[in-house]
Each structure stands twice: as structure tokens, then as C-alpha cells.
Structure 1
């Protein structure tokens, strides 16, 4: 295992980390822009990351955010954890309202269909997500809402 991955998982469990989110995301976006999406903060730790672009539900303008992901079944899984904050991240509302979005993964762009996993399927996919990022279970313990699991499938 990449030793930086252990560091990332350790830092990801800290309750103060969400306060640094804007700086972390800003640095990540800069790295992705400079490398044309080939490298990210997470990929240097051995963790998979994608850039999700989805139309804003109110404005219709494209919104892009870097997300930890898990490649799964030819597509990707993402969790709306917001690092264990009580409120979901804004992208969750946008993605929930969308039928489609686009993903940049390892420098390649893909149009994707979007759906939310529910019931037994969600439980199974949650275990897949936790196998990649164990902190998802910690985040779920910190909050009262159920963290949504999105399935992104290439068109």
C-alpha cells in the first residue's frame, strides 16, 4: 500500500479536516488543471479521484468538483459524505436533480448517467466504498443523515 494513503486516511478521520476543505479543494483543482487531470491530491496517495461536472439545479451552469471515487462495473461510485458534516455538499443536490453529468477520470472525459443506489444495492456499494476509504463509516457515525451513494455509468 502506498504509504501516503495511510497518511491520507489518517488525516481524513480528523474532525478538523472539513474546516480545511476549501483550501484542499483549491489545491486539488490547481494540480488537476496543471496536469490536465492526470494527477490529483488523492491519486498521489494511491486513491482514485474524479472531477465531476454537473449542471447547477438552480442556475443550470456547469459546476465542477473533485471527488474521491471507486471505479465499479465500468463506471464509478461516489458518496455524498461531505467529510462527515451534517449538511450534504452542494454537488449532491445538483447531482440528485440531474439525469446526466460528466466525469474526468485520469485525464479522460466521459458523459455519465446518474442514479442513487438504494436498499440492498446501496448497502453492497457502501461496503465497496468503505473498502477504499474506511473513513466513510466514521463520517456516517458522526451525522444523522444517510450518506447518498451515486452510481455514475458511462453512456
Structure 2
């Protein structure tokens, strides 16, 4: 009899810990995706404004083209992140939906966002290399990094 009571108390202890963990994971996930959605919404607008400013200043040299492209890829990352967060929250609100929102969000938007993110990292690397070469070869950088060469590097 004692053995049964010990097992039942042990089982109930594990289930309460599991319920607490799942509640914490749920709360953390909701907070993460709502904050992530808000930050990505802010990123959408700030990148749109940056692109407008770079365009109005003119895409005359390599740096302006690179910063415009960086704003564009960051805009795409923020857009995909916002759509992903929105779909995830809709999946929580409508769990009985026939559409598997978690799979759609993870497979379609997750890899798309990573592709845009790595493109953004590549453009940041090109900008950093150009800035470093400005220090090392101050008079030759304009000849090495022309507008057409930087456009080719980015694409």
C-alpha cells in the first residue's frame, strides 16, 4: 500500500512540474512573439523611411547603394518576421484550424527569413570591407569599389 501511495505522489509531482513548465513555455512564447511582432513592425517602418531617404539622396556612389540594399533586405526580414509572428499568434488563438500554422510558419517563413538575414549579413560584410579599405588605401577605394562593382557584389 505504501508503494502505491509513493508512486501516486511521485506521479502527481511530475505532472504539476510539467504543467508549470508548459505554462511557462506558453507565456514565454506568447511574450516572445508579441514583442517580436512589435519590434518587426517598428523595423518595417524604419527601413521604409531609410530607403526613402537613401533614394532621395541619390544612389550615386557605392555606399549609398549598399546602405539602400541593406535597408531593403532588413525590410524583407522584418516583413517575414511580422507575418510569422502574426500567423503564430493566430495559431494560438484558433487551435482548431484545419491549416497547420506552425508548420507553415516554420518551414515557409523560417527559411525565407534566414535567406534574407544571410543576405543582410553579406551586405554588412561588404560595407565593413569597404570601410576597412578606406583606412588602408584611402585614395584607391573609390576606384576599387565602384557603384557597378558593389551592385554586382550585392546581387
Q: TM-score w.r.t. structure 1 length?
A: 0.24
Normalized per residue, the structure richer in helix is 2
**Which one has a bigger Cα radius of gyration?**
2
Normalized per residue, the structure richer in strand is 1
